[in-house]
Amino acid sequence: MIDVNRLPLEGEGGLIERLRTLADPRKPRGVRHPVVTVVAISVCAALAGARSFKDMSMASATSTSPA
């Protein structure tokens, strides 16, 4: 089991590295963002209290990080 309280975002064994192992089930047509980006934003938004897809989209829209 992964201890999320000790899981770093980046670097060896971090969240982003683990998300990069996910297979992208989407068809290539229409994909605008890498699956790792979409899932990372969703995870961070959920940890920050987002309870719906709308909340997650608002969290990503207000992000100050470059895409």
Please check whether residue 8 lies inside any domain of the structure. Answer: no
Please check whether residue 26 lies inside any domain of the structure. Answer: no
Per the CB < 8 A criterion, the answer to whether 41 and 56 are in contact is: yes
Please check whether residue 55 lies inside any domain of the structure. Answer: yes
Please check whether residue 42 lies inside any domain of the structure. Answer: yes
Comparing C-alpha atoms, which of 46, 19, 47 is closest to residue 33?
19
Tokens read off for 66: 């470059």
Host domain of residue 56: 33-61
Provide the 8-state DSSP code for 62.
Answer: T
Please check whether residue 20 lies inside any domain of the structure. Answer: no
Please check whether residue 24 lies inside any domain of the structure. Answer: no
Number of domains the chain is built from: 1
Tokens read off for 25: 């089930």
Helix ranges (DSSP H) in 1-67: 15-19, 35-47, 53-61
Query: Which is it for the CA torsion 50, 56, 58, 64, positive or negative?
Result: positive
Question: pLDDT class for 2, splitting at 50, 70, 90?
Answer: low
Tens-place pLDDT, residues 17-50: 888 899 999 999 989 999 998 998 888 888 888 8
pTM of this structure: 0.68
